[in-house]
Amino acid sequence: MIASRRCLFGFAATALARPALAQSPWPNGPVRLIAPFPPGGSVDTISRLLQPTLSAELGVPVVIENRPGASGAIGTAALARAPADGQTWAMVFDTHAVNPALIPNLGFDTKRDLSAVMLVGTSPMLITTHNSRPWRSLPEVIAAAKARPDTLTYGSIGNGSLAHLTMSLMQKAGDFRVVHVPYRGGGPMSAAAAAGELDMPMATNAGLGGQVGATLRPLAQTGGQRSPHFPDLPTVSESGVPAIDALAWWGFIGRAGVPEPIVRRIHAALAKALAVPDVSARLNGPLGVDVVGSSPEAFAAFLDTQMTVWGQVVRDNNIRPD
């Protein structure tokens, strides 16, 4: 975290040292921020949390446009087709790094057509169960799954989501089988979790809509180490399934070719938004997000690693899109 803050502050200083954009009319109207998942999910929630400060910093309305479908690829494709003028951006989820391996015909090239702006934050996923279910720990659920293979269900935000890929790894490592129920985003999955339709809803705390500790009982977290937001919750590895280390993440991206001064300005506005006390408190509190606020360069390197790691999991497990 210290390194990321240094990177951010250094980047901001560089931005301030650059000449003003007197020659550029940007922004020249409302700025569109695509949220490629339905309302109610974590991408939508975080986008709307940052929206007021972005609008104030840029001096124009920032309009959030929900374009769900295909694990976020439909909304991202809309960004890839937009002009490289800085009027359109997107807030993406970890599926952004999976989709190139998951979906054969995306219609765009993730590395060529899009650009990294900021890794906003990360969070472990939580494996939970509804309060109506009897299990109190992940080992208890795994024992039940082994006793009744292909009977217990777990929910995710869609095929190829990080939850789907992580549970695929867990089933191999733990020698058990459960049934995947994919939803089209965090909002629908969260609603199903609240209704008790799933044995194991699996998402970030933000994606579960504030239900953890209320209608949902947490069983384990997917990070390699316990998150400071959930210090008493064991990791999957601590629960007996080895070598699981998976963090969800949220990132801000733009169209490739947007002039660098515009990228610097939107990055500075994002940094301001993340520093607003109410925003920081919400992210670090009920949403359980570890704020990163990276430079574009650090986010680009992070994306490359994520695409390599999770793309291999997609291929090894023959995972297909919805």
- CB-side neighbour CA atoms (13 Å) of 47: 28
Whether residue 227 lies inside any domain: the answer is: no
pTM of the predicted model, to two decimals?
Answer: 0.84
Within this chain, do residues 162 and 86 fall inside the same structural domain, yes or no? Answer: no
- According to DSSP, the β-strands at 88-93 and 31-35 are parallel
Three-state SS for 262-301 is HHHHHHHHHHHHHHCHHHHHHHHCCCCCEECCCCHHHHHH
Among 174, 206, 221, the domain boundary falls at 221
Cross-sheet strand order for the sheet of 247-255 = 62-66, 31-35, 88-93, 247-255, 114-124, 290-291
d(CA 157, CA 29): 33
Total tally of structural domains belonging to the chain = 2
> Do the beta carbons of residue 133 and residue 155 sit within 8 Å?
no
Whether residue 236 lies inside any domain: the answer is: no
d(CA 262, CA 231): 40
CATH number, domain at 63? 3.40.190.150
Within this chain, do residues 272 and 292 fall inside the same structural domain, yes or no? Answer: yes
What residues have CB less than 8 Å from 263, skipping those under 6 apart?
86, 115, 117, 254, 296
Within this chain, do residues 119 and 251 fall inside the same structural domain, yes or no? Answer: yes
Residue by residue, DSSP assigns 119-186 as EEEEEE-EEEEETTS---SHHHHHHHHHHSTTTSEEEESSTT-HHHHHHHHHHHHHT---EEEE-SSH
Among 204, 221, 238, the domain boundary falls at 221
Within this chain, do residues 108 and 136 fall inside the same structural domain, yes or no? Answer: no
Within this chain, do residues 113 and 131 fall inside the same structural domain, yes or no? Answer: no
Within this chain, do residues 130 and 118 fall inside the same structural domain, yes or no? Answer: no
Domain span holding position 151: 125-221
d(CA 144, CA 199): 11
Q: State whether residue 251 is helix, strand or coil.
A: strand
CA distances from 87 to 24, 82, 241 (A): 13, 8, 45
Whether residue 234 lies inside any domain: the answer is: no
Task: Print pLDDT tens along the chain (322 aa).
Answer: 434 433 443 444 444 344 444 445 899 999 999 999 989 888 999 999 999 999 999 999 999 999 998 889 999 999 999 999 999 999 999 999 999 999 989 999 999 999 999 999 999 999 999 999 999 999 999 999 999 999 999 999 888 899 999 999 999 999 999 999 999 888 899 999 999 999 999 999 988 988 999 999 999 999 999 999 999 999 999 999 999 999 999 999 999 999 999 999 999 999 999 999 999 999 998 899 999 999 999 999 999 999 999 999 999 989 988 6
Structure tokens of 243? 């070598």
Within this chain, do residues 144 and 196 fall inside the same structural domain, yes or no? Answer: yes
